[in-house]
Amino acid sequence: MVSVMVCDDCASLLDFVVRAIAEFSDFKVVGKAASGEECIELIEKGNIPDVLLLDVSMPKGMSGYEVAMHLKQKLPIIKIIAFSALTDDLATIAMIRFGTKAFVVKGHVVADELAEIIRLVMADGEYYPPKFRYNKSKIDEIKKTPIPWLEKIKPEEMEVIKLIANDCPQKQVPDQLKISSSLMGKRLNKLFKKTNTHNAIGLINFLRKVGLLK
């Protein structure tokens, strides 16, 4: 029997997916988590699933990217299936980079299809959205290639753009964070470089596209 854990910050969807998975006799739901932190805590306490269905965009705490990064380093035996509303290839590429075996777009598969994807992953297969037309050699290259917008962004840099995205005027950001205007500008410029954007609006749009902001 395949043990499955589900992590999603949407409570109603989390419960729905858990119920759907539990309907299949060859699966056993061994845990559900409403945040990345809770997911890691459950696993570190010894509740180690065969498969983790993992939401990607969870901006209030650890993102799915961070959970996948952590598990790739600590417990690569867990097979991760990204289960996300994100449709941009950048999100798929990032999750592949950190060990995800499949990327399922919410609302694009029914329960029977999700079950088949879990079985495929357990048989060492991989699954990606049909529009993601990358061959095996390209996928192998992705796994080896660092992603600046994901691996080099620092928490203190994200603090700046999160305030701006939540309608805090840029002039007030330094006071909110108790930093100088010069330091705020430096952090923004670093974010622009790492995301290949040129202004705050473009940066916010990019971070929302990849699920790091809502």
Question: What is the model's pLDDT at position 97?
Answer: 95
Closest CA to 81 of 71, 182, 12: 71
Confidence of residue 109 (pLDDT cuts 50, 70, 90): confident
Structural domain spans, the chain:
2-144, 148-209
CATH topology identical between 2-144 and 148-209: no
pLDDT(20) > 80 = yes
Domain 2-144 has CATH 3.40.50.2300: yes
| Integer Cα distance of 24 and 39 in angstroms | 22
pLDDT(191) > 90 = yes
Q: How far apart are the first and last CA of the chain?
A: 36
Residues 121-163 pLDDT 10s: 999 999 998 888 888 898 999 999 999 999 999 999 999 999 9
Exposure string over 152-185, b if 16+ CB within 10 A, otherwise e: ebeeebbebbbbbbeeeeeeebbeebebeeeebe
pLDDT(188) > 90 = yes
Residues 43-80 pLDDT 10s: 999 999 999 999 999 878 899 999 999 999 999 999 99
| Whether the Cβ atoms of residue 86 and residue 210 lie closer than 8 Å to each other | yes
Tell me the average pLDDT across 90-111. Answer: 93
| Whether the Cβ atoms of residue 188 and residue 161 lie closer than 8 Å to each other | yes
Question: What is the model's pLDDT at position 75?
Answer: 95
Tell me the average pLDDT across 93-116. Answer: 93
**CATH for 148-209 (1.10.150.120, 3.40.50.720, 3.40.50.300, 1.10.10.10):** 1.10.10.10
Helix (H) or strand (E) holding 30: strand 27-33
Question: What is the model's pLDDT at position 104?
Answer: 94
The pTM assigned to this predicted structure is: 0.89
CA atoms within 13 A on the CB side of 10: 13
